[in-house]
């Protein structure tokens, strides 16, 4: 029988009831969505396997407990792509995924429509493995939690009934540790001292009971020799490997340890045995042995045969079941299906860190590695912004998921099957949940991962049709991912949407280039923090201009209230500024007070460093709310560039070459983005 | 034996008999307070606190410690225990605050149990009360098992701001603030200032004149009045006319306020704050009469008070406890009060003495139940309240519990009522302990006389750690050595055996305990042995051979207590202690701790580090 744990809370039950009955009430019911928790996970997984196998593409969407661990960890004006990657990495490592939407789409040539199977998985990093647990912690951003609550997210379903998971790396570590453990437990002899009163009483009680049982065995008492005390703990006589034994149930592990001690001390012929049977629940026995040799035999046979094999098998089974939700990821990965997401770089990073292993330290390594797991990823946000035709179709409106959906797929959103000729041209999409297919529904809950995944898939299907895909003549064998019409967009993700940085997953070399600020500009940046409060960017610019020349500073940009980026005209000014700061700080004379920079240095805590220090600060695991605190904690000391010329110029050259190469490869995107970027620059200036 | 048994029998009967009157299945009905009924309950809470002698509290946090060694253990000095508690208090969030004002008359315990559901809402989008918080997955799972309703907590939890946050947010809430009256003219004005003031003055004059006109003229139709508004840039603030003057600096604010004193009879200046904290504009509001002005100021004050109250949220209750000056009983002084300080008072100071003094200004009388418990029953474990309670059954101490706030309107299903039981149990345990101690419980109001008022106990400096068990031995921290980097996993006893054979310093008596799976601590009972060992490990070349040399070659590292202390101070809270110690040794941070004196630690062979619980 399946162990089915009921949670006592009504909202959850009703949420599930909603999901169960929605498909039957297809006329105008709620959006049909398959909610999956750990109670129906195994069953759903089997269905999902066949859906994914048959699918043309699979849309995904994730809901997390937060996005940025500190305000300055948000995407900022002067984030180089490597810094941006570090910020995404930090986010994926710190926050938990609470909902995972998976929606396979399949073209049904019979009905000339797509069939979608939206699944909404509740995920929670519950620790299923009890041994030596790695401290599992995650961060919650209060605004994100509020946001989830606003959209009626069911936290109880998530925490009470969410599906757990292990990443591949965690699985390897777990099985390694199990191996170690099983070796240890054979050798280890514990010494436990009875210090607590309760323990002493318990041991005395057990001693008496065992004595009674043993003498009953030996002298053949008429009474059935069993021990039952209280309601929870009990011991009944059974046979274990042809020997009379007491099966112990309902004792705590501490009590069992006391029993072990009692047996060792007072009963030479009673042996304590701990086994794990096939249903993976452990059992404890006290076994009677005839003689010392019999005892020896029993121990040897047990230790060698059972303990090793059985433990290993049980361990493997436990680990297997702890893998949980990762089976879905493994399925997507092994089927090599086209994965569709909307602005999904963060999602992919989460998938990697939760289900594959720790995120690599650099974007280059990440790109090299992600290809092995997800060879085809398409981002609908890229598609809508980069393709000029689609972009025009968006009529300059926002490309956020919901607005793109209502613009591109109005017929699905309103579920209207009107005879409107324009709507007729749209791709038809049906929803199938629990083998009930329906094409009429009310709009689903926004920001529910399953529905968001469905919307993403619809946008993709519609966008493909605009790009000239003819699904009607689409053959089963044809792989959407290899279609040349998509070639320009596939495996390109927004590293930062606000800045328009695109990361290309196709090549192992990173060519996520910054279109806004050319790379050499980062060498002209100085970071200043902990300056006197209330000093505004404009005032800082004035100070520095007074000290280093009126045209020395191009712009000053706030990270937060405690720190600014200063963009100098050239990198020489950067080292000049840092040197000057150092000089002033070591000087106690009147120069220090009268110097124009003194306004910034007032207080004596002002820190300044070049761009590499910023990268170092971002790579730290620590996240202080204020940037100044972060810089102090990470311990970046003010410093000047060790080698201002020389190798850096070489580096720049190399980078510029790379830009040139990628430029050629993607003229279209380039031209397009350049156009958009100009507008933005004009606004910021 | 017999009389003792009888005593035990009697006491347990009296507890259950006392309880059965008011409790249902061994549970008391606790008033659950959420966002919706918070405001209406506040007065009731105030009366409850005022009518009681003590306040018991118990917190439900989203986590307690991230790694085994982050837990406070016997080898920690007060300062380090504090640093560990501080680290946890800053990261985790309080989700439930169970409060139980109670009084004890004879054997009758009157309790007023409340349970508050808290959730930090960043309503101003300023990262207050908290930008983010950590959750321990295992803790949440355990809470779920107890039937915790996370939806209720997140949807309906009461938010709050700490005292420091409230004063910081005053400007940021976006509401206009009444400008402080200008005391004296500021620094001499420049030409630019004069021009600026002149320009603004004429603008204000024009506007004021039009206000006077319009208030005298009543026959204006809507079109004319709105046209006039358009021309003059006049706006309305509520029902009153106003003029908004944008400013670029605090200096301009000052100048405008000075200038507006000329019109003080019928114009009230308001300051409009910008998001970044400064003043964005000055709004001059026209008053039709003197009474109108009084009314306006009163309205503004009320609005501000209301807004502050709303933002303060649950902290109102903390303030009530604090201002009542009633002794506060908690299960775990350090972890509870570091959390309370961090969430409701202000950021935690960096050392324990500052913390104690800061805390005692808000809560002068704090009773640490675990400390109290140890005096009566040294071997009991306070962390499990029912167990602690039953361990006291051998004493004759009948306590009748009566729940006073019966009129609680929420009669939800059973699972809801169970939250907040801990605070009642704490008050019950406290009552029992006070009865046992036969001390007049009233005397505990004076913290100075009391041995268990830990607030004063904490001042005992790093030098002395209280002995908390009979079989503990005092040891100077100089004699502790941390070792890590062992080739394979070992138990404490095997490690001890291995060490014994490795070096002749181990010929003397010593002890080994594992701190986590990466690191162990060695206690030398001979004063200079630790130094000998440390220098042996750190100078590999001089090692003559033997297994210690092999161990060092295999990666064994060792460090003194100072390194451990530094790791905590520098905040290297890695998951494995070994990593933290490695990092500390690498860090070039040379600023020395103010107190480098060795401190004394009580070493208990059983209780020190119970590895089973890690």
CB contact (8 A) between residue B135 and residue A146:
no
- Name the pLDDT band for A669 (thresholds 50, 70, 90): very low
Nearest to A149 among B66, B155, B493 (CB): B155
CB contact (8 A) between residue B136 and residue A136:
yes
Nearest to A196 among B66, B134, B379 (CB): B379
- Name the pLDDT band for B544 (thresholds 50, 70, 90): low
CB contact (8 A) between residue B93 and residue A140:
yes
pLDDT of res. B450: 37
Give the span between the Cα atoms of B614 and B611, in whole angstroms: 5
Give the span between the Cα atoms of A89 and A678, in whole angstroms: 29
CB contact (8 A) between residue B119 and residue A191:
no
CB contact (8 A) between residue A139 and residue B132:
yes
pLDDT of res. B611: 34
pLDDT of res. B461: 36
CB contact (8 A) between residue A138 and residue B134:
yes
CB contact (8 A) between residue B137 and residue A149:
no
pLDDT per residue as tens digits for the range B93-138: 999 898 888 888 877 888 888 889 999 887 777 777 888 899 988 8
Average pLDDT over residues A539-561: 83
pLDDT of res. A26: 37
Give the span between the Cα atoms of A434 and A20, in whole angstroms: 9
CA distance A183 to chain B (A): 11
CA distance B355 to chain A (A): 20
Token pair in block for residue A74: 């948000």
Task: Give Cα B132 to chain centroid, integer Å.
Answer: 15
In chain B, which residues have their Cβ closer than 8 Å to the Cβ of A66? 132
pLDDT per residue as tens digits for the range B456-478: 333 333 333 333 333 456 677 77
Which positions 403-422 of B are in contact with A (Cβ < 8 Å)?
413, 415
Nearest to A561 among B93, B276, B489 (CB): B276
- Name the pLDDT band for B67 (thresholds 50, 70, 90): confident
Give the span between the Cα atoms of A407 and B56, in whole angstroms: 58
pLDDT of res. A121: 93
CA distance A246 to chain B (A): 26
Average pLDDT over residues A318-333: 87
CB contact (8 A) between residue A139 and residue B415:
no
CB contact (8 A) between residue A534 and residue B277:
yes
CA distance B133 to chain A (A): 5
In chain A, which residues have their Cβ closer than 8 Å to the Cβ of B122? 142-143, 146
CB contact (8 A) between residue A125 and residue B119:
no
Residue A195 has pLDDT above 60, yes or no: yes
Token pair in block for residue B157: 């939890």
Least confident of A227-236, A317-326, B406-415, B451-460: B451-460
Chain B residue with the nearest C-alpha to that of A158: B150
Least confident of A183-197, A264-278, B480-494: A183-197
Average pLDDT over residues A526-547: 82
Query: In terms of C-beta density within 10 A (0-12 exposed, 13-18 middle, 19 or more buried), how is residue A369 classed?
Result: middle
Residue A18 has pLDDT above 50, yes or no: no
In chain A, which residues have their Cβ closer than 8 Å to the Cβ of B517? 132
Residue A661 has pLDDT above 50, yes or no: no
CB contact (8 A) between residue A135 and residue B140:
no
Give the span between the Cα atoms of B604 and B608, in whole angstroms: 5
Mutate to test the interface with A, among B65, B88, B123, B132 (most CBs of A within 10 A): B132
Task: Give Cα A289 to chain centroid, integer Å.
Answer: 53
pLDDT of res. A508: 47
pLDDT per residue as tens digits for the range B228-238: 666 666 677 76
Nearest to B122 among A132, A146, A534 (CB): A146
CA distance A664 to chain B (A): 43
Contact B122/A at CB under 8 A: yes
Mutate to test the interface with B, among A137, A158, A539 (most CBs of B within 10 A): A137
Give the span between the Cα atoms of B261 and B258, in whole angstroms: 6
B571: nearest Cα among B70, B6, B75: B70
CB contact (8 A) between residue B151 and residue A138:
no
Radius of gyration of chain B (CA): 32
Q: Which residue has the higher pLDDT, B467 or A151?
A: A151
Give the span between the Cα atoms of B13 and B19, in whole angstroms: 10
What ipTM is given for this predicted complex? 0.74
pLDDT of res. B216: 61
Residue B140 has pLDDT above 80, yes or no: yes
pLDDT of res. B233: 61
Nearest to A534 among B121, B278, B589 (CB): B278
CB contact (8 A) between residue B134 and residue A140:
yes
pLDDT of res. B522: 84
Contact B1/A at CB under 8 A: no
In chain A, which residues have their Cβ closer than 8 Å to the Cβ of B413? 8
B427: nearest Cα among B453, B391, B402: B402
List all residues 6 or more positions away from A113 whose beta carbon is below 8 Å from its beta carbon: A107, A427, A428, A429, A430, A439
Average pLDDT over residues A478-501: 74
Mutate to test the interface with A, among B137, B516, B608 (most CBs of A within 10 A): B137
Average pLDDT over residues B59-77: 82
Average pLDDT over residues B410-434: 70
Q: Which residue has the higher pLDDT, B537 or A423?
A: B537
CB contact (8 A) between residue A156 and residue B127:
no
CB contact (8 A) between residue A139 and residue B134:
yes
Q: What percent of chain B has pLDDT over 70?
A: 71
Contact B136/A at CB under 8 A: yes
Contact B137/A at CB under 8 A: yes
- Name the pLDDT band for A660 (thresholds 50, 70, 90): very low
Residue B334 has pLDDT above 90, yes or no: no
Least confident of A110-124, A457-471, B136-150, B369-383: B369-383
pLDDT per residue as tens digits for the range A427-482: 788 888 887 887 777 766 677 888 899 999 988 888 888 887 777 766 655 677 67
CA distance B175 to chain A (A): 20
Residue A260 has pLDDT above 70, yes or no: yes
Give the span between the Cα atoms of A609 and B47, in whole angstroms: 57
SS3 call for A450: helix
Average pLDDT over residues A282-286: 75
Residue B25 has pLDDT above 50, yes or no: no
Contact B92/A at CB under 8 A: no
In chain A, which residues have their Cβ closer than 8 Å to the Cβ of B135? 65, 96, 137-140
Average pLDDT over residues B530-537: 81
Which positions 192-231 of B are in contact with A (Cβ < 8 Å)?
none
B478: nearest Cα among B439, B400, B530, B434: B530
Least confident of A508-517, B427-436, B513-522: A508-517
pLDDT of res. A49: 92
Chain A residue with the nearest C-alpha to that of B159: A142
At B277, phi and psi to the nearest 5? 115, -25
- Name the pLDDT band for B160 (thresholds 50, 70, 90): confident
Nearest to B150 among A141, A155, A198 (CB): A155
pLDDT of res. A517: 45
- Mean pLDDT taken over chain B: 74
Nearest to B154 among A125, A135, A149 (CB): A149
The span from the first CA to the last CA of chain A, in angstroms, equals 68
CB contact (8 A) between residue B138 and residue A127:
yes
- Name the pLDDT band for B339 (thresholds 50, 70, 90): very high
Answer yes or no: are the C-beta atoms of B49 and B101 closer than 8 Å.
Answer: yes
Least confident of A429-433, A624-628, B303-307, B333-337: B303-307
pTM for this predicted structure = 0.74
pLDDT per residue as tens digits for the range B580-612: 888 888 876 555 444 445 566 655 443 333 333
pLDDT per residue as tens digits for the range B261-274: 777 777 888 877 76
Average pLDDT over residues B305-319: 83
CA distance A636 to chain B (A): 12
- Name the pLDDT band for A650 (thresholds 50, 70, 90): very low
The span from the first CA to the last CA of chain B, in angstroms, equals 37
Residue A679 has pLDDT above 50, yes or no: no
A250-255: long-range pairs with CB below 8 Å, 24+: A251/A284, A254/A199, A254/B612, A255/A202
pLDDT of res. A516: 43
CA distance A198 to chain B (A): 9
- Mean pLDDT taken over chain A: 75
The H or E element that residue B349 is part of is none
How many interchain CB pairs under 8 A, A with B?
115
pLDDT of res. B222: 67
- Name the pLDDT band for A273 (thresholds 50, 70, 90): confident
């Amino acid at each position: 029988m399946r162990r089915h744990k009921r949670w006592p809370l009504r909202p959850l039950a009703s949420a599930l009831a909603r999901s169960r009955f929605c498909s039957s009430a297809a006329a105008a019911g709620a959006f049909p969505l398959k909610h999956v928790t750990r109670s129906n996970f195994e069953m759903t997984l089997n269905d999902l396997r066949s859906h994914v196998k048959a699918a043309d593409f699979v849309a995904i969407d994730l809901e997390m407990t937060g996005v940025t661990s500190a305000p300055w960890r948000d995407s900022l004006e002067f984030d180089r792509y490597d810094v941006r990657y570090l910020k995404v990495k930090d986010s994926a490592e710190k926050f938990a995924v609470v909902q995972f939407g998976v929606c396979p789409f399949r073209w049904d040539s019979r009905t000339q429509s797509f069939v979608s199977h939206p699944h909404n998985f509740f995920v929670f990093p519950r620790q299923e493995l009890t041994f030596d647990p790695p401290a599992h912690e995650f961060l919650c951003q209060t605004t994100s939690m509020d946001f989830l609550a606003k959209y009626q997210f069911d936290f109880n379903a998530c925490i009470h009934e969410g599906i757990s998971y292990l990443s591949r790396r965690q699985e390897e570590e777990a099985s390694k540790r199990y191996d170690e453990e099983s070796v240890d437990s054979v050798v280890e002899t514990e010494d436990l001292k009875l210090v607590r009163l309760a323990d002493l009483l318990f041991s005395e009680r057990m001693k008496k009971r065992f004595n009674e049982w043993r003498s009953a065995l030996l002298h053949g008492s008429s009474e059935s020799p069993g021990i039952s005390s209280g309601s929870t703990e009990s011991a009944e006589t059974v046979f274990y490997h042809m020997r009379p034994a007491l099966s112990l149930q309902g004792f705590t592990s501490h009590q069992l340890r006391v029993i072990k001690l009692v047996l060792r001390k007072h009963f030479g012929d009673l042996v304590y045995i701990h086994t794990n049977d096939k249903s993976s629940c452990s059992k404890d026995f006290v076994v009677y042995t005839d003689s010392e040799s019999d005892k020896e035999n029993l121990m040897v046979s047990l230790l060698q045969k059972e303990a090793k094999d059985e433990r290993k098998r049980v361990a493997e089974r436990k680990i297997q079941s702890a893998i949980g939700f990762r089976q879905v990821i493994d399925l997507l990965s092994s089927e090599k299906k086209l994965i569709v997401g909307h602005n999904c770089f963060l999602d992919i990073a989460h998938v990697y860190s939760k289900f594959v292993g720790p995120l690599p330290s650099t974007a280059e390594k990440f790109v090299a590695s992600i290809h092995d797991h997800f060879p085809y990823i398409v981002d609908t946000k890229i598609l809508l912004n980069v393709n000029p035709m689609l972009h025009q179709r968006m009529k300059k409106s926002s490309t956020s998921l919901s607005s793109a959906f209502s613009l591109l797929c109005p017929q699905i959103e309103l579920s209207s099957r009107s005879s409107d000729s324009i709507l007729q041209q749209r791709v038809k999409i049906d929803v199938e949940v629990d083998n009930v297919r329906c094409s009429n529904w009310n709009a689903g809950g926004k920001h529910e991962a399953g529905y968001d995944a469905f919307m993403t898939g619809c946008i993709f299907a519609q966008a493909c049709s605009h790009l000239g895909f003819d699904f009607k003549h689409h053959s089963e064998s044809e792989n959407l991912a290899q279609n040349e019409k998509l070639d320009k967009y596939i495996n390109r993700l927004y590293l930062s949407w606000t800045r328009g940085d695109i990361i290309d997953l196709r090549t192992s070399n990173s060519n996520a280039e910054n279109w806004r600020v050319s790379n050499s500009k980062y060498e002209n940046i100085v970071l200043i923090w902990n300056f006197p409060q209330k000093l505004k960017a404009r005032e800082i610019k004035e100070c520095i201009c007074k000290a280093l020349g009126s045209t020395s500073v191009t712009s000053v940009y706030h990270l937060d209230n405690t720190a600014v980026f200063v963009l100098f005209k050239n990198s020489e000014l950067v080292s000049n500024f840092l040197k000057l700061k150092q000089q002033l700080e070591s000087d106690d004379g009147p120069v220090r007070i009268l110097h124009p920079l003194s306004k910034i240095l007032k207080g004596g805590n002002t820190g300044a460093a070049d761009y590499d220090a910023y990268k170092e600060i971002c790579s730290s695991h620590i996240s202080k709310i204020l940037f100044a605190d972060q810089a102090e904690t990470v311990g970046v000391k003010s410093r000047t560039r060790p080698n201002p010329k020389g190798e850096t110029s070489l580096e720049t050259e190399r980078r510029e070459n790379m830009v040139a190469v990628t430029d050629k490869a993607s003229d279209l995107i380039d031209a397009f983005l350049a156009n958009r970027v100009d507008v933005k620059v004009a606004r910021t200036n | 034996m017999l009389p003792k048994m009888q005593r035990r029998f009697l006491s347990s009967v009296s507890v259950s008999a006392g309880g059965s009157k008011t409790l249902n299945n061994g549970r008391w009905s606790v008033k659950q307070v959420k966002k919706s009924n918070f405001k209406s309950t506040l007065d009731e809470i105030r009366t409850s606190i005022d009518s009681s002698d003590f306040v018991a509290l118990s917190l439900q946090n989203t986590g307690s410690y991230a790694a085994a060694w982050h837990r406070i253990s016997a080898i920690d000095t007060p300062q380090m225990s504090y640093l560990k508690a501080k680290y946890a208090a800053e990261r985790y969030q309080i989700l439930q605050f169970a409060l139980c004002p109670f009084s004890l008359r004879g054997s009758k315990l009157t309790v007023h149990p409340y349970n508050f559901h808290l959730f930090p809402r960043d309503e101003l989008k300023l990262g207050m009360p908290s930008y983010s918080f950590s959750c321990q997955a295992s803790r949440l799972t355990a809470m779920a098992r107890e039937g915790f309703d996370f939806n209720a907590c997140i949807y309906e939890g009461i938010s709050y701001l700490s005292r420091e946050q409230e004063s910081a947010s005053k400007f940021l809430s976006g509401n206009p603030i009444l400008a402080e009256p200008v005391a004296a003219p500021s620094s001499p004005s420049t030409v630019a200032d004069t021009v600026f003031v002149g320009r603004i003055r004429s603008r204000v004059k024009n506007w004021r004149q039009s206000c006077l006109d319009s208030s005298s003229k009543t026959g204006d139709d809507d079109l004319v009045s709105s046209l006039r508004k358009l021309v003059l840039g006049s706006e309305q603030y509520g029902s009153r006319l106003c003029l908004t003057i944008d400013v670029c600096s605090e200096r301009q604010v000052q100048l405008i306020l000075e200038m507006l004193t000329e019109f003080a009879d019928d114009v009230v200046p308001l300051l409009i704050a910008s998001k970044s904290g400064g003043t964005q504009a000055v709004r001059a509001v026209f008053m039709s009469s003197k009474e109108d002005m009084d009314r306006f100021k009163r309205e503004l004050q009320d609005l501000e008070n209301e807004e502050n109250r709303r933002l303060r949220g649950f902290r109102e209750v903390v303030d009530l406890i604090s201002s009542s000056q009633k002794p506060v009983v908690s299960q775990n002084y350090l972890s509870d009060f570091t959390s309370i300080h961090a969430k409701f008072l202000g950021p935690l100071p960096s050392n324990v003495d500052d913390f104690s003094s800061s805390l005692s200004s808000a809560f002068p009388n704090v009773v640490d139940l675990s400390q109290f418990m140890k005096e009566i029953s040294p071997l009991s474990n306070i962390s499990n309240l029912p167990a602690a309670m039953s361990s006291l059954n051998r004493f004759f101490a009948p306590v009748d519990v009566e729940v006073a706030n019966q009129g609680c309107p929420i009669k939800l299903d059973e699972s809801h009522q169970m939250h907040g039981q801990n605070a009642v149990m704490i008050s019950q345990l406290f009552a029992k302990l006070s009865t046992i101690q036969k001390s007049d419980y009233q005397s505990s109001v004076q913290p100075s006389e009391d041995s268990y008022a830990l607030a004063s106990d904490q001042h005992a400096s790093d030098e002395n750690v209280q002995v908390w068990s009979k079989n503990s031995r005092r040891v100077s921290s100089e004699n502790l050595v941390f070792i890590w980097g062992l080739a394979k996993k070992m138990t404490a006893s095997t490690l001890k055996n291995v060490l014994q054979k490795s070096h002749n310093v181990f010929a003397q008596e010593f002890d080994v305990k594992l701190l986590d799976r990466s690191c162990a601590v060695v206690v030398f009972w001979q004063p200079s042995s630790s130094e000998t060992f440390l220098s042996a490990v750190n100078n590999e070349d001089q090692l003559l051979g033997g297994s210690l040399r092999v161990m060092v070659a295999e990666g064994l590292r060792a460090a003194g207590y100072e390194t451990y202390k530094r790791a905590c101070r520098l905040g290297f809270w890695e998951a494995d202690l070994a990593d933290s110690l490695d990092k500390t040794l690498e860090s070039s941070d040379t600023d020395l701790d103010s107190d480098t004196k060795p401190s004394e630690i009580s070493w208990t062979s059983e209780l020190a580090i119970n590895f089973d619980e890690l």
